[in-house]
């Protein structure tokens, strides 16, 4: 991008809404992603793109427009569209948006790695080669992705906000698969690509592939050990179902009427923190509000929910820095750096030790909400589901379907590992915005299996 940096572009864009209450957000993505299947590269994607989002605020209404045409004509067109949208909405009375936030100092973080930002394709090549070799050693084929990116976000607003956040992220997923369809999964996410050990990820995936044939498990309630990835998925759903301040205010949230009460086991403490070691640091949210640590559940007691400027105004409080879009998402705010405190178990094996008969789940797949008010979810297990017998992980199981409440599973949690891992989806839809959940593995005494596949 010539000599103009992202903040300079944001200021230039904002100038097209001079005299309005307005915000300009610039996001530049440079990313590299390599996919592989059957131990061969399949698709490789390199992206270099810029989004400019312009937000105009008028009488409590927001109008937004975006473009990647960053010459004056493109910016002027987007500004006109944003202003027209706000004006049209404002013709029908006052809205609920309280106004753009004032500037607040932000703090630097260590979420940027210049070597990762170089997007060296040979790093992708080396990672894939390591995956193919490790899986071949185990008589398996490798499937997955390796990806790295640099994303810079800059916000300039009419209230004086002028902030920039440059971050990097890298991720690798490996699914090791046998010729009969048995599969094992492992992933790793970090700020720096060099922190991802492709060989170790591949070995972990291969270790989840059993030589035995999987057995069935009848529907019912079982003790369960959820590996880190499975725990991360459940917590991610609570982000929208339980910790969304707008849903909470509108009596749609899973913690409605429960703040200050026990909603989980005493060993459960959940925060949202962009500064916890091992997470993906971020300086501010989509409104330029600093992301400060937020206690959501402490020792099993529900403590609060996340807010953006709009939901905070409705609830009579202040933004916690969790806006997902300029002006706030219509669906409300969400925590995107969830952290579940670790426990005292030294390993997953220690979690399994007290279980006479139960199951071990590596990851969930296609989880969806059944009843949002109760955080009731359904989904399948995938890529490594095992029977636990007499305290030891035993033979593989066919994947099972669960239908259970994420909050109920946390209420039934008995022990967690001390070690935590950053769990991050690799779906990366739209403009790249890597997020993750930092969490341990856990054991719960009751997990509801509603079906299975054979």
Partner 1 sequence: MGIRVAVPGCGFGFAATREATKTGLELALARAVAIARALPAGARRPPLAAIPPARGHWASACEVDPFALSLDERLAPLLAAEKGMHGDRRIVRGVAESLACRTITAFASSDGAAFTQERTECGGGISAFAAANGELQRRSYPSAHGGSVALAGHEHLLALDLAAHAPRVAEEALSLLEAPPCPAGRTTLVIGDEQLALQIHESIGHALELDRILLGEASYAGTSWVSPGDIGTLRYGSPLLAISADATLPGGLGSFGWDDEGVAAQRTMLIDDGVVRATLSDRQSGAAIGVASGGAARADGFARQPIVRMTNVSLEPGEAGTLEELIADVRTGVYMETNSSWSIDDRRLNFQFGTEIGREIRDGKLGRLLRNPTYAGVTPQFWRSLDAVASAPAWRLWGLLDCGKGQPGQNAHVSHGTPPARFRDVEVGVLR
**By three-state DSSP, how is residue 136 classified?**
helix
- Encoded one letter per residue, x for contact with partner 1 by CB under 8 A and - for no contact, window 413-452 reads -------------xxxxx-x---------------x-xxx
Residue in 23, 36, 182, 406 binding partner 1, rule: CB under 8 A: 36
Q: Scan residues 221-260 and list those touching partner 1 (CB under 8 A).
A: 250-252, 256-257
Residue in 96, 114, 418, 453 binding partner 1, rule: CB under 8 A: 453
**What are residue 413's DSSP bridge partners?**
444
Backbone angles phi, psi at 449, to 5 degrees: -90, 120
Q: What is the dihedral of CA 71, 76, 77, 78, to 10 degrees?
A: 90
Contacts of residue 343, Cβ cutoff 8 Å, sequence gap at least 6: 267, 415, 416, 417, 418, 440, 442
Residue in 105, 181, 218, 316 binding partner 1, rule: CB under 8 A: 181
Whole-number minimum distance, CB 348 to partner 1, in Å? 23
The per-residue DSSP string of 239-285 comes to HHHTSBHHHHHTT-STTTTTTTSB-S-TT--EEE-SSSTTS---SB-
Total residues interacting with partner 1, rule: CB under 8 A = 80
Residue in 227, 308, 399, 445 binding partner 1, rule: CB under 8 A: 399
What does the block give as tokens for 129? 């080669």
What does the block give as tokens for 155? 């916000």
Whole-number minimum distance, CB 431 to partner 1, in Å? 9
Contacts of residue 428, Cβ cutoff 8 Å, sequence gap at least 6: 33, 147, 434
What does the block give as tokens for 342? 């670790």
Q: Scan residues 349-378 and list those touching partner 1 (CB under 8 A).
A: 365-373, 376, 378
Q: How many CB atoms lie within 10 A of CB 308?
A: 29
**What are residue 284's DSSP bridge partners?**
290
Residue in 60, 80, 125, 354 binding partner 1, rule: CB under 8 A: 125
Residues 440 and 382: their CA atoms lie apart, in Å, by: 19
Whole-number minimum distance, CB 202 to partner 1, in Å? 13
Question: Environment class of residue 266 by beta-carbon count within 10 Å: exposed (0-12), middle (13-18) or buried (19+)?
Answer: exposed
Comparing CB distances to partner 1, the nearer of 37 and 298 is 37
Comparing CB distances to partner 1, the nearer of 372 and 391 is 372
Residue in 35, 259, 292, 414 binding partner 1, rule: CB under 8 A: 35
How many residues are there in the chain?
A: 454
Whole-number minimum distance, CB 454 to partner 1, in Å? 9
Q: Scan residues 48-107 and list those touching partner 1 (CB under 8 A).
A: 48-50, 68-70, 84-85, 88-89, 91-92
Q: Scan residues 315-334 and list those touching partner 1 (CB under 8 A).
A: 330
- Encoded one letter per residue, x for contact with partner 1 by CB under 8 A and - for no contact, window 259-288 reads ------------------------------
Comparing CB distances to partner 1, the nearer of 63 and 358 is 63
**What are residue 65's DSSP bridge partners?**
54
Comparing CB distances to partner 1, the nearer of 129 and 195 is 129
Comparing CB distances to partner 1, the nearer of 185 and 386 is 185
Comparing CB distances to partner 1, the nearer of 200 and 292 is 200
Whole-number minimum distance, CB 427 to partner 1, in Å? 4
Instruction: Give which of 86, 63, 67 is closest to 26, Cα–Cα.
Output: 67
Contact flag: residue 12 with partner 1 (CB under 8 A): no
Instruction: Give which of 40, 39, 44, 69 is closest to 54, Cα–Cα.
Output: 69
Contact flag: residue 17 with partner 1 (CB under 8 A): no
């Amino acid at each position: 991008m010539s000599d103009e940096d992202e903040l300079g572009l944001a200021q230039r864009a904002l100038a097209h809404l001079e005299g309005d209450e307005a915000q300009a957000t610039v996001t530049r993505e440079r990313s590299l992603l390599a996919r592989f299947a059957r131990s061969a590269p399949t698709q490789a994607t390199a992206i270099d793109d810029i989004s400019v989002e312009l937000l105009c605020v008028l009488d409590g209404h927001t109008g937004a427009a975006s473009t990647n045409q960053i010459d004056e004509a493109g910016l002027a067109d987007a500004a006109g569209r944003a202003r027209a949208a706000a004006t049209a909405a404002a013709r029908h009375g006052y809205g609920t948006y309280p106004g753009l936030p004032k500037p607040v100092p932000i703090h630097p973080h260590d979420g940027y790695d210049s070597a990762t930002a170089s997007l060296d394709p040979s790093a992708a090549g080396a990672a894939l080669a390591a995956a193919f070799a490790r899986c071949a050693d185990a008589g398996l084929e490798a499937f997955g992705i390796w990806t790295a990116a640099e994303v810079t976000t800059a916000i300039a607003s009419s209230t004086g906000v002028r902030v920039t956040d440059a971050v990097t992220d890298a991720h690798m997923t490996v699914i090791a698969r046998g010729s009969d369809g048995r599969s094992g999964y492992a992933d790793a996410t970090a700020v720096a690509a060099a922190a991802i050990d492709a060989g170790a990820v591949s070995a972990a995936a291969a270790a989840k592939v059993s030589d035995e044939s999987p057995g069935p498990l009848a529907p019912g309630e079982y003790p369960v050990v959820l590996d880190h990835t499975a725990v991360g998925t459940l917590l991610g759903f609570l982000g929208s179902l339980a910790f969304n301040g707008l849903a909470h205010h509108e009596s749609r949230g899973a913690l409605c009427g429960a703040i200050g009460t026990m909603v989980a086991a005493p060993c459960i403490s959940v925060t949202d923190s962009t500064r916890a070691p091992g997470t993906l640091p971020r300086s501010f949210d989509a409104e330029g509000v600093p992301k400060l640590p937020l206690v959501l559940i402490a020792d099993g007691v529900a403590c609060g929910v996340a807010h953006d400027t709009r939901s905070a105004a409705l609830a009579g409080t202040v933004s916690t820095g969790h806006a997902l879009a300029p002006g706030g998402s219509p669906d409300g705010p969400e925590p995107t750096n969830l952290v579940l405190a670790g426990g005292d178990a030294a390993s997953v094996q220690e979690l399994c030790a007290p279980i006479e008969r139960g199951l071990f789940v590596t990851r969930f797949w296609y989880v969806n909400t059944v009843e949002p008010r109760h955080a009731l979810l359904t989904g399948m297990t995938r890529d490594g589901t095992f029977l636990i017998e007499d305290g030891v992980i035993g033979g593989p199981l066919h994947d099972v379907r669960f239908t259970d409440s994420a909050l109920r599973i946390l209420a039934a949690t008995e022990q967690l590992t001390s070690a935590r891992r950053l769990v991050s989806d690799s779906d990366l839809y739209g403009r790249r915005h890597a997020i993750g959940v930092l969490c341990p593995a856990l054991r719960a005494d009751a997990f509801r299996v509603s079906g299975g596949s054979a």
